[in-house]
Chain A
């Protein structure tokens, strides 16, 4: 187990903790939710007016307030979609890799079919049927991403299930559930965590492209991705509209990656990666 004193942990925890705290307190700090429009104060530069420290956007809304409040939506999308996809994908992967047979064939062929569908096509179809909004966006991301985890886990299980310690556990009569979650899972969680940390960031950006296509959340509710998309046309004359939410995504992802690295190393039962 790696200590809490490692640089990765301290940096990662500070970033994620700081951003998390700011988002938790956002209701107190910015009671208007960054939604009050003031057409008279549009596109104000940052660091000029104390009331709008990071400037204002094309509708005169405070960028700082929107970045802080917007984190709520973005992190919600990032966290819930990844958590959901991991739960479904890991369970599917474990079961199909361990039991093989008909179950494996069904799950994996289904996965193949799904991988052959382009994400945007799936997104447009899904949202045409079920409608947009936050919950549906999260469900869509889960549906489209569980396959990645299932494949990753299944591959690792196929290699691990023939190893001596699994055979030994089977021989002494350890129940399947313990083998799956007690013996197999800890040995393959490393790459899953790496994929998770990458996907959190990816999904924050995907939410923005969905919003951009008009499939995501209500544009009045701030989200980092939506702010990036809004600020794109203003990039040359009002960089602050998109740069600050971009920076927020960067710092969050960096923090999560550092924490993920640390967590993976700490959880690795072989201790190989420990330095």
Chain B
């Protein structure tokens, strides 16, 4: 009896083992993605998390669409035109589109989406403030809508491609309620929702009737894995096919590259890093000292060694993807001799202490800061690093102006428009600008906000960048890459710089 039991136990173990062994191979057409964060709600008006978008871009469509190339193309709107000097935008909607639940897409759905976003339900979420320029959405006919604006907004079309502006099904949301919608999203996108387990994962399947054609994958599954080492281990074991940013630390890149089945796909993202100066007090009040400190640090060497080339040097606080980027603006050169001369001229004694405030949990940046400190040591400054708990740094130390001479500033910049960054960094009284107040800069920042002429606006934005660089308001460090770890069985994967992955063109072997 015992023996029989043992044999059957062994047999069942073997079966289970076999099933586990087969699991990594996966059913044909299923792509498994590791994402570092569960956004908690799938409702477009509830979120501002990048990792919401890396899932939801597959479920929903916006009126416009911005792909990995950064170009704005038609989405659910096939055409648009500006009327009334930019204070009215008329959209022609795509015909024959229906939501995953069968509801038709038309002008009423667009009006419902924006009434909801700008109304009471939207007030509870963080998205509404991005869209308050919209006064009303007016239905012209079933497939034409007018957006009435309080002022021309040059970034509106970009904002309509993401986040809060995703079109939601009116009947479904009204009948099922907001709480149900949070956990059971329905849109018009290429994949439809199957199931969601909080903190574990979300499963989607192909929506064959999508207006852009049926996706090549049958199923798309996301697992939420916060710990980078675990995510990379799962990738190595073949249990996930794609690890999306921000997950993979620079230090693990060579581990992935050395595995013949895996590859790294990297693309310059919108994210930028800088060390900003206290321009109000201390030695960094002096522009010459700030310039000397910038020249003392070999930023290219930091990028090549610590960041293993996964970043680009920047001259102003924006990357090349940003509207307002000026390729002719060059960063100050690495020149320790000149730096020493400038410090001497400014009367800074050798051995003067400089403190650099950083986010304690950002391992890569802590390494960068240590290298910066060593370079500053090289020109005779005694630099120390002060790590802070992230929320303390972001909500207290920086806004209330209690930083050291320099502090870490990370910026996401998903609108890919320098206005979003520069206004927050340089305008008097902004949360991120505790030290500086420059009337000329304020005026430039305000002047471009109501101009819809792209050429003119770009010129002003470039002027702001140049002016900020001339005053050396920050030590621009780099624009980092978005780093994806990919199993080579994944075909046609194009890394998205802003993490808004649309995986309808991807297939798996």
Using CB atoms, name the residue of chain B closest to A42.
B305
- Chain B proximity of A240: nearest CB distance (Å): 13
If A128-B392, A219-B366, A232-B229 touch, does A58 touch B387 (CB 8 Å cutoff)? no
Chain A residue numbers with a CB within 8 Å of B388 are 132, 214
Using CB atoms, name the residue of chain B closest to A60.
B305
Chain B residue numbers with a CB within 8 Å of A211 are 360, 387
- Interface 1/0 per residue, A44-64 and B, CB below 8 Å: 000000000000001110000
Q: How many interface residues does A have (CB within 8 Å)?
A: 31
Q: Does chain B have a CB within 8 A of A234?
A: yes
Using CB atoms, name the residue of chain B closest to A41.
B305
If A58-B251, A219-B387 touch, does A39 touch B366 (CB 8 Å cutoff)? no
Contact A214 B389 (CB under 8 A): yes
Using CB atoms, name the residue of chain B closest to A233.
B251
Contact A214 B359 (CB under 8 A): yes
Bound-state CA distance A231–B492 (Å) is 35
Contact B386 A132 (CB under 8 A): yes
Chain B residue numbers with a CB within 8 Å of A237 are 251-252, 254-255, 258
Contact A212 B374 (CB under 8 A): no
Q: Is the interface of A mostly helix, strand, loop or mixed?
A: loop
Q: Does chain A have a CB within 8 A of B373?
A: yes
Bound-state CA distance A182–B187 (Å) is 77
Contact A212 B361 (CB under 8 A): yes
Contact B228 A233 (CB under 8 A): yes
Q: Does chain B have a CB within 8 A of A220?
A: yes
Contact B389 A127 (CB under 8 A): yes
Bound-state CA distance A224–B234 (Å) is 29
Chain A residue numbers with a CB within 8 Å of B301 are 39
User: In chain A between 218 and 249, which residues have their CB closer than 8 angstroms to a CB of chain B?
Assistant: 218-220, 229-230, 232-238
A213, A234, A236: the one within 8 Å of B360 (CB)? A213
Contact A212 B306 (CB under 8 A): no
Contact A39 B251 (CB under 8 A): no
User: In chain B between 246 and 286, which residues have their CB closer than 8 angstroms to a CB of chain A?
Assistant: 249-252, 254-255, 258
If A39-B302, A59-B367 touch, does A233 touch B252 (CB 8 Å cutoff)? yes
If A36-B374, A237-B251 touch, does A124 touch B305 (CB 8 Å cutoff)? no
Contact B255 A236 (CB under 8 A): yes
Chain A residue numbers with a CB within 8 Å of B252 are 233, 236-237
Contact A132 B370 (CB under 8 A): no
Q: Does chain B have a CB within 8 A of A216?
A: yes
- Chain A proximity of B472: nearest CB distance (Å): 24
Bound-state CA distance A214–B361 (Å) is 6
Contact A216 B387 (CB under 8 A): yes
Chain B residue numbers with a CB within 8 Å of A232 are 229, 363
Contact A234 B370 (CB under 8 A): no
- Chain A proximity of B36: nearest CB distance (Å): 14
User: In chain A between 120 and 135, which residues have their CB closer than 8 angstroms to a CB of chain B?
Assistant: 124, 127-128, 132
Q: Does chain A have a CB within 8 A of B384?
A: yes
Q: Does chain B have a CB within 8 A of A215?
A: yes
- Chain A proximity of B158: nearest CB distance (Å): 34
Chain A residue numbers with a CB within 8 Å of B251 are 58, 233-234, 237-238
Q: Does chain B have a CB within 8 A of A37?
A: yes
If A58-B367, A128-B392 touch, does A37 touch B374 (CB 8 Å cutoff)? yes
User: In chain A between 17 and 69, which residues have their CB closer than 8 angstroms to a CB of chain B?
Assistant: 35-37, 39-40, 42, 58-60
If A59-B371, A237-B255 touch, does A219 touch B392 (CB 8 Å cutoff)? no
**Highest count of chain B CB atoms <10 Å: which of A35, A42, A232, A237:** A237
Which residues of B line the A interface, CB within 8 A? 228-229, 249-252, 254-255, 258, 301-302, 305-306, 358-361, 363, 366-367, 369-371, 373-374, 384-390, 392, 396
Q: Which 3 A-B pairs have the closest CB atoms?
A: A214-B360, A233-B251, A214-B387
Besides the known contacts A59-B374, A220-B385, 19 further A-B residue pairs in the complex with CB atoms under 8 A apart: A36-B374, A37-B370, A39-B306, A42-B306, A58-B306, A60-B305, A128-B389, A128-B396, A212-B360, A215-B360, A216-B387, A218-B385, A219-B369, A220-B370, A220-B373, A233-B249, A233-B251, A233-B363, A234-B251
